[in-house]
Amino acid sequence: MIKAIVNGRVFDGEKLHSGLAVVLHGRTVHELLPREKLPVSVAIECDLGGHILAPGLIDIQVNGGGGVMFNDAPTVETIRRIGAAHRHFGTTGFLPTLISSNLGTMKRAIEAVDKAITGGVPGVLGVHLEGPFLNPAKRGIHKAERFLELDAGAIDLLTSSQHGCTLVTVAPETTENTMISRLAEQGVLVFGGHSAATCEEVQAALKAGMRGFTHLFNAMSPLQSRAPGMVGAALHDPDSWFGIIADGHHVHPTTFAVAVAAKRKGYAMLVSDAMASVGTDDGSFMFDGSEIIAGEGCCRLPDGTLAGSNMDMISAVRNTVRFAGVDPTEALRMASTYPAHALGLEGELGYIKPGFRASFIELDENLNLFRTWIDGKASA
């Protein structure tokens, strides 16, 4: 059935338009045209009442939500529950993220994501395996005893997904650049993170095929005057993406603003790094044998160590406007258009254009969220 969304302003990922109707045909956008040219045969699905229609938000780092963690139960049902929780906050596409685990759990996670995609679980775009090929010196909440060498057997597993995107976070100094190249050549998106690499080591990994960086500034070698580290390499490289957590805890707002200003436009992405507490009223939860305390947008261990975030993506968008002083449309791009490009999905997501998947959010001028669509299906 052909239907239309009308009476709103349409941010198509590039510009904000007034007076356009968005015509949907099943899962995709059929066309955009002036309201007065809308055929009378087209059913009106939604009158936006002057609100903004924008591309749905894409989060490439989602550890949990709705009271569950992907690590605890890497199943289709867990993925469905996480996606449903984050959809309430504008996330219409996401990568369930597995914190460093053993190969058996990684295999189950990859298989669960494959089944979730083929089974039509809304919003699932692939899997993010954050480790276990990391540096113990920058482990964060990851268990160092789970860290592994990136060998041929691991590469076979990491390239085994049949559907969607696979993103793998590695510490480049812990492996050979030939291994990074092998992953990249087989379509795996390699990001650097949980790393003590020098700037030179990072630059060599980028040449080998590494394409981005996981939660910039956190658990990586810092930018210093005579040692640029991973942060310096990430900010300097024009062709790699970085994810950054806009909760005001993982990165100071001033530092956040500097990073966004320094990076080539189109390559700074917002991520939530969300934990199980997002979408719940839970003040704490257990993960991997430790109590995690949630509050004020972040999660911490009892000793104060950061342990992921308690933040959602629309909050990250609002915080970005506040922290970096960017236009709201640019903050939206950082949470939709740019992640789509990073994942190689810029031909189907991140924009509102004919032929693209009909995944949108409805919001007002203050970036308050009202409704979402995933593949043409509106939220209740």
Catalytic residues: 273
| CA atoms of 150 and 165, how far apart (whole Å) | 19
Question: Contact at 8 Å (CB) between 285 and 294?
Answer: yes
Q: List the Cα angle 104/107/111 in 5-degree steps.
A: 145
Cα–Cα distance list, 18 to 6, 12, 51, 54 (Å): 10, 11, 10, 12
Nearest to 105 by CA among 70, 78, 60, 142: 70
Tokens of 329: 């449309």
Tokens of 350: 């991140």
Conformational region of residue 334, where left means phi above 0, alpha means psi within -120 to 50, and beta covers everything else: alpha
Question: What are the residue ranges of helices labelled H in the chain?
Answer: 76-87, 103-118, 152-158, 177-185, 199-208, 229-236, 253-262, 313-324, 328-335, 337-342
Nearest to 255 by CA among 280, 235, 282: 235
| CA atoms of 256 and 74, how far apart (whole Å) | 32
State the first-to-last Cα distance of the chain, in angstroms, to the nearest integer. 19
Nearest to 56 by CA among 123, 138, 153, 5: 123
Question: Contact at 8 Å (CB) between 105 and 137?
Answer: no
- 5 HSE (CA, 13 A, CB side): 30
For the chain, the residue count is: 380
Question: Contact at 8 Å (CB) between 299 and 310?
Answer: yes
Strand duo 212-213 + 241-245: pairing: parallel
Cα–Cα distance list, 184 to 156, 159, 178, 197, 280 (Å): 13, 10, 10, 19, 37
